[in-house]
Chains A and B, each alone.
Chain A
Amino acid sequence: MLKYGLAYGLLSSRRRAREMLLPAITIATGAFLVVIVFAMSAGIKKQAAGLGHADEIGHAVVLIAVTVLLVGVIEAAVATTRTIAHRTRELGVLGATGVSSRPVLLALLVEPLVTAFFGALGGAALAAVIAGVLAAAGAAQSGVSASGTAAGALIAVLVSVVAAVVTSAVPTWRAVNRPPIKSLNAS
Chain B
Amino acid sequence: MTVTEPAAPGNAPVVKVTDAWKLHKLGDEIVRALVNASLEVRSGEFVCLMGPSGSGKSTLLNIIGGLDRPTKGTVQIAGRDTSNITESQFAALRHDKIGYIFQSYNLIPFLSAVENVELPLMFEPYDRKALRQRAIDLLNLVGLGHRLHHQPAKMSGGEQQRTAIARSLISDPALILADEPTANLDHRTGEVVVQTLRDLCSKLGVTVVASTHDPSVAEQASRVVRMKDGQIQPD
Contact = CB atoms under 8 A, between A and B. Distances in A.
Nearest to A104: B123
A75 B119 CA distance: 32
Interface string A87-103: 00110111111111101
Given A96-B100, A98-B93, A8 B122 contact: yes
B123 A99 contact: yes
B95 A97 contact: yes
10 contacts: A8-B123, A92-B106, A93-B102, A96-B65, A97-B119, A98-B93, A98-B94, A100-B88, A101-B88, A179-B68
A141 interface: no
Interface of A: 1, 4-5, 8, 12, 15-16, 89-90, 92-101, 103-104, 107, 179-181, 184
Contacts of B125: 1, 4
A181 B67 contact: yes
A89 B95 CA distance: 18
A98 B111 CA distance: 18
A4 to B, nearest CB: 5
Contacts of A89: 106
B42 interface: no
Contacts of B124: 1, 4
Given A93-B108, A179-B67, A180-B67, A98 B98 contact: yes
Given A96-B94, A98-B94, A179-B87, A1 B110 contact: no
Contacts of A107: 123
Contact of A103 (B100, B111, B123): B123
Nearest to A17: B110
B91 A95 contact: yes
A93 B101 CA distance: 10
A59 B62 CA distance: 60
B96 interface: yes
B120 A98 contact: yes
A181 B100 CA distance: 12
A1 B124 CA distance: 6
Interface in B102-137: 102, 106, 108, 110-111, 119-120, 122-125
Contacts of B62: 181
B226 interface: no
B3 interface: no
B106 A93 contact: yes
Contacts of B167: 97
B92 interface: yes
Given A95-B91, A100-B123, A101-B91, 5 more contacts: A5-B123, A93-B108, A98-B120, A101-B88, A181-B68
Interface string B149-169: 000000000000000000100
A184 B123 contact: no
A184 B91 contact: no
Contact of B100 (A12, A15, A97): A97
Contacts of B67: 96, 179-181, 184
A31 to B, nearest CB: 26
A15 B111 contact: yes
Interface-central residue, B91, B99, B167, by most chain A CB under 10 Å:
B91
